Structure 1
């Protein structure tokens, strides 16, 4: 069989090994490997066009660092990984666009219906640690990045909230007509939660409660109606990057002043 790209692809699509392919072409495996490399027949390695994306503080870099601090992870092999429910796959597309990455977003159609994004970059991991305190195995040792300038920290907080925060409406009793509003942050690190709690207290004069989840190692910051509205406005007003479904709740509750009613 003639060795050309068309025949190479045709055989490759059968799923056989490279060694078996070499036998089809009646050449040694090493020679086929060399031909693949020289002619660029193999799968091209994914690229990161904006590898310096976390080098400086911007709205996008701070937002995505906050989101990764909440919902992502880095490891000792310089991998950055994040997994979300499939409904939020568009958010991974936004992250991919920010990094100008050609990496594939993987979809897992098991019972959890999830999607994930992963890349490897020692530079990005270094910058996430240097500028945002994001390190491997961060769950119980994540440090709040108080050194981020105030004008940028708001975007980090929105990113963290989009990853590990929630907006809830519930009726306090059977006679309630309008639902009560709650906004929460969650973290596996007490020190992080306490520092965030004090920052919001100082920045927005919020009350709120800091408590540990029952039978869990996670901590929760909880803010009720008026504080919740102030906090949502602080995080989302004039923002340009956010998780769409949470931004829609902010629009309805804060901007349009529409709450759930019986």
Structure 2
């Protein structure tokens, strides 16, 4: 939902996953297709794994990772509560930050997430309230 995209053209899908951490991209690639390549994006400090797959594209769409998601992303409705923490940690890793603070012996912190989709932010607030 944060470090990649789904591209769809004429019923064909291409999945892309990006990160500055090559080992992490390799791990994702190996999970999906060990024979595929990881490439470095030109003029950027990013590594990318791309895969054309109708099955993966349709699966990702069915689970809320839609093409052109930036402005219309929503919290995945089918996400079981048992996976909330994993999903949220992954989203923070891709499009957020954690700011730890240790003030006068009290440890506390804050979390920041970013999204171009106001609906997604509203969904996150609602899920956190629950």
Q: How high is the TM-score relative to the length of structure 1?
A: 0.44
SS in 2 for 1:187: coil
State how far apart, in whole Å, the 1-side matches of 2:78 and 2:17 are. 25
Which of the pair has the greater relative contact order for Cα pairs under 8 Å at 6+ separation? 2
Aligned to 1:152: 83
Change (3 A) 1:109 1:73: closer
State how far apart, in whole Å, the 2-side matches of 1:97 and 1:181 are. 34
Kindly tell me the number of residue pairs found equivalent between the two proteins: 126
Q: Which residue, out of 86, 96, 99, partners 1:165? A: 96
State how far apart, in whole Å, the 2-side matches of 1:71 and 1:188 are. 14
Could you list the runs of 4 or more consecutive aligned residues of structure 1 that deviate by over 4 angstroms after TM superposition?
Answer: 176-180
Greater helix share, structure number:
1
Residues 61 and 67 of structure 2 are in contact (CA less than 8 Å); yes or no, is this contact kept in structure 1? Answer: no
What is the 5 A alignment of 1:35-54? none
C-alpha RMSD of the superposition? 2.2
Report the Cα offset of residue 177 of structure 1.
5.9
Aligned to 2:110: 182
Aligned to 2:36: 103
Report the Cα offset of residue 83 of structure 1.
2.1
State how far apart, in whole Å, the 2-side matches of 1:126 and 1:98 are. 18
Q: Which residue, out of 111, 127, 130, partners 1:199? A: 127
Report the Cα offset of residue 180 of structure 1.
5.8
Deviation track 1:46-99 (CA, whole Å, cap 9, x = no partner) reads: xxxxxxxxxxxxxxxxxxxxxxx11110111400112222xx111101101211
The structure with more radius of gyration = 1
Greater strand share, structure number:
2
SS in 1 for 2:15: strand
State how far apart, in whole Å, the 2-side matches of 1:74 and 1:109 are. 20
Q: How high is the TM-score relative to the length of structure 2?
A: 0.84
